[in-house]
Amino acid sequence: MVTIKHGYTFLLTVILISNVLFTQNVFAQQVSSKYKHELKKFMKFIRNTEFKQYDTLKIYPYLSNKNLFMISLFGTGVYGLSNEEKTYLIKEIQSDTAKYYFNRHWMKNVQFVPQNQKDGWRLSKPIFLRNYLLCAFSFATPYDPDFASQWTYLYKKENGKWSRLLLMGKILGY
Amino acid sequence: MLIHEIVHAYIFTNPEVLNGLTQHAYMLQNYIDGIIGSLQTFFPSLTSQQAASLALGGLGDDITGTQAFADVLTKYGFTTNMNSRDYFAFYSKLYEYGTSGTSCK
């Protein structure tokens, strides 16, 4: 009798854990696939606009928010964003510093620069807001001992097309 | 910014002064007080913090994240939090966008 009771308890526990894991996994995949889908479209837009002058774009093989988005969270750069959206941006910029490795399908004509070299553009992860209708994105020039600069813009999507909305912040070396 | 470029011109003609530093690192180490003084001579109404903000502008992304830069920020009363209103760039932005100062005509 004790064995049967333990057996039921074990079975219920397994079912419960499986259920939780399955539900979370499905949810994660939904979020992830939507993000990946929007990311691919956005990166294609960035390649064709911000970097259109480069036949071959030299970049690091990952997206990372580390040391990007400088001075972008105050002043005119956050015009129109709610306090909740600003809080979300701060969280994403300051907490999400993990590298997201680049997929070659995101952009055409890119050349990956080894991480120990300093001649690649640094790109942030796109941070989407308002159900993928706004996006904050930051990028910095290849390392130059004297003139390295970085820009952060807010982009908007209208009728399925991205365009620049406003400058959020920039640091220029001159 | 003109003063900043004059210092570059000086360094380009006397590169030995760098002693291994980049131009902006050398400028950070040796010229910020001088640029602040020059700015306040030309524009006496500038506060020290406003002048320091302008003097630190243009040093670029390669140096703004360094410890040397953080030390200078602390010295002139700025925070090292780059997304705070007390970060140096907030003051220089006011001039850049024409909120402070007199716009060029």
Contact B93 A146 (CB under 8 A): no
In whole angstroms, how far apart are CA B61 and each of A18, A24, A49, A112, A140? 48, 40, 22, 21, 8
Mean pLDDT of B50-71: 91
Contact assessment for residue A170 and residue B82, using Cβ atoms and an 8 Å cutoff: no
Structure-token pair, residue B75: 């010295």
**Across the interface, which of B5, B59, B87 has its CB nearest the CB of A173?**
B59
The structure's pTM equals 0.81
Distance CA B53, CA A126 (A): 30
Amino acid A20: pLDDT: 46
What is the residue type of B46?
L
Distance CA A101, CA B26 (A): 35
pLDDT in tens, A35-72: 999 999 999 999 999 999 999 999 999 999 988 998 88
Cβ-Cβ contacts under 8 Å, A144 against chain B? 60, 62
Longest Cα separation, chain A: 81
Has the ipTM of the complex gone over 0.90? no
Domain layout of chain A by residue ranges? 2-171
Contact B82 A70 (CB under 8 A): yes
DSSP A146: T
Contact B62 A171 (CB under 8 A): no
Longest Cα separation, chain B: 41
Amino acid B62: pLDDT: 83
Contact A76 B83 (CB under 8 A): no
Q: Does A87 touch chain B (CB under 8 A)?
A: no
Closest by CA to A62, choosing from A3, A104, A2, is A104
